[in-house]
Amino acid sequence: MDSAVSDPHNGSAEAGTPANGTTRPPSTPEGIALAYGSLLLMALLPIFFGALRSVRCARGKSSSDMPETITSRDAARFPIIASCTLLGLYLFFKIFSQEYINLLLSMYFFVLGILALSHTISPFMNKFFPANFPNRQYQLLFTQGSGENKEEIINYEFDTKDLVCLGLSSVVGVWYLLRKHWIANNLFGLAFSLNGVELLHLNNVSTGCILLGGLFIYDIFWVFGTNVMVTVAKSFEAPIKLVFPQDLLEKGLEADNFAMLGLGDIVIPGIFIALLLRFDISLKKNTHTYFYTSFAAYIFGLGLTIFIMHIFKHAQPALLYLVPACIGFPVLVALAKGEVAEMFSYEESNPKDPAAVTESKEESTEASASKRLEKKEK
């Protein structure tokens, strides 16, 4: 996963010249400001809305929207897995034809992008359907074995409205597949980011610190220690990064000198910020102090990344600046409010854990029983 902000003079193309050998005209200050301001705004949208949707996701009971909980063991292994994946992609691009690799990746992300975009726009689209819309329910069930040994492999519930969203998302998918246009790329990238923040849940703040700390080292090594990450980011034709042209004012929608931001710089801090929002809600104080603090910290960290990159004219590992800000600012607030113990003791249960499911059922049974008693007393 790419996790670096590109050199403002290189964009997403190889540094230097375009394919015809002519010198690329330098980007204007207005174009650079527009590009990085747009990247900052696009990074904030999936974090903000993904965090809000993560709260509903944590409370929801739909199996298709069940969050994936990241434990401390998962967090510790993630930088190693990410490093192996990144190095593997780098070697693939060095050994095999870049054209064929990107063709396979395009097909893979074409399918994932349609599903992610459909899931993203579904809540918004529901507001536009008329009340008399014929909405039928469907279920895609794939099992293994029979009788008592039957095991569910896929159990996906959807309706006619979901099919409409899939159809609209498929139009964007075909556009991306045929043209690789940067707007289609960004629509998929935003959908991936929002889904990641919504559906990937950290079980506690300590796990978040382990994950961010490990990727802090990962990001610095692969950007400053080698050219692997920047090379993969420039060769990888898939919506794993948000891009915005610096020459938009000169060339319009056909601009081709891009600045880019890896989705890892959005999703990784985003799931930590979403955790702090759920922690805020657990305090039941009707304030979102830690969420807004970490959100402001993210803006500060990404802004600092862009500023330093512009000064030194070199791609920057954004997590180098985002991790200290996103962890440090909320911890300082917790110290000031005397809530450090509450912050680090806050725990989210894994909804896939049988014990958590049993406990939830017991709570539901107790609640039902208490309601029946109340009715009898009345």
User: 54 pLDDT exceeds 80?
Assistant: yes
Encoding tokens for residue 120? 């993203």
How would residue 370 be classed by pLDDT, with cut points 50, 70 and 90?
A: very low
Q: What is the mean pLDDT of the chain?
A: 83
The conformation of residue 69, written as its DSSP 8-state character, comes to E
* Separation CA 331–CA 280 (nearest Å): 13
How would residue 56 be classed by pLDDT, with cut points 50, 70 and 90?
A: confident
Beta 137-144 vs 68-70: how paired, if at all? unpaired
Is residue 8 a part of any domain in this protein? no
> Residue 349 has what pLDDT?
66
Is residue 142 a part of any domain in this protein? no
Report the residue count for the chain. 378
Encoding tokens for residue 279? 């922690």
Is residue 44 a part of any domain in this protein? yes
Q: Taking residues 310-338, what's their average pLDDT?
A: 91
Is residue 367 a part of any domain in this protein? no
Taking the model in full, what pTM does it have? 0.82
Beta 200-202 vs 68-70: how paired, if at all? parallel
CB 334 within 8 A of CB 358: no
Of 233, 251, 231, 250, the C-alpha closest to 242 is 233
> Residue 26 has what pLDDT?
67
Beta 258-262 vs 241-245: how paired, if at all? antiparallel
* Separation CA 69–CA 348 (nearest Å): 8
CB 35 within 8 A of CB 248: yes
Encoding tokens for residue 191? 């959908």
DSSP 96-164: S-HHHHHHHHHHHHHHHHHHHHHHHHHHHHTTTS-TT----EEEEEEEES-GGG-EEEEEEEEEHHHHH
Amino acid identity at 194? L
CA 270 to chain centre: 7
Percent of the chain exceeding pLDDT 70 equals 84
> Maximum Cα–Cα distance for the chain, whole Å?
86
pLDDT digits (tens, 9 = 90+) for 293-323: 999 999 999 999 999 988 888 778 899 999 9
Is residue 360 a part of any domain in this protein? no
Q: Which residues contact 30 (CB under 8 A, 6 or more apart)?
A: 249
pLDDT higher at 194 or 249 = 194
* Separation CA 114–CA 171 (nearest Å): 9
How would residue 146 be classed by pLDDT, with cut points 50, 70 and 90?
A: confident
Encoding tokens for residue 148? 């008592």
> Residue 368 has what pLDDT?
47
Is residue 139 a part of any domain in this protein? no
The conformation of residue 204, written as its DSSP 8-state character, comes to B
CB 236 within 8 A of CB 254: no
Percent of the chain exceeding pLDDT 90 equals 48
Q: Please count the other Cβ atoms lying within 10 Å of the Cβ belonging to residue 3.
A: 27
pLDDT digits (tens, 9 = 90+) for 90-134: 898 888 878 888 888 888 999 999 999 999 999 888 888 888 888
Domain span at residue 117 reads: 29-129+151-347
> Residue 156 has what pLDDT?
77
Label residue 64 exposed, middle or buried (CB < 10 Å: 0-12, 13-18, 19+). Answer: middle
Encoding tokens for residue 45? 């949208």
Is residue 144 a part of any domain in this protein? no
pLDDT digits (tens, 9 = 90+) for 153-183: 777 788 888 899 999 999 999 999 988 899 9
Q: Please count the other Cβ atoms lying within 10 Å of the Cβ belonging to residue 285.
A: 9
In 3-state terms, the chain is what percent helix, strand and coil (to 5)?
70, 10, 20
Contacts 24+ apart (CB under 8 A), 309-312: 309/5, 309/6, 309/7, 309/8, 310/8, 310/32, 310/36
> Residue 73 has what pLDDT?
93
Q: Is 226 helix (H, G, I), strand (E, B) or coil?
A: coil
Q: Taking residues 67-89, what's their average pLDDT?
A: 91
Catalytic residues: 219, 265
Q: Taking residues 336-348, what's their average pLDDT?
A: 92
Is residue 190 a part of any domain in this protein? yes
* Separation CA 103–CA 96 (nearest Å): 12
Domain count, the chain: 1
| Full 3-state SS string of 254-276 | HCCCEEEEECHHHHHHHHHHHHH
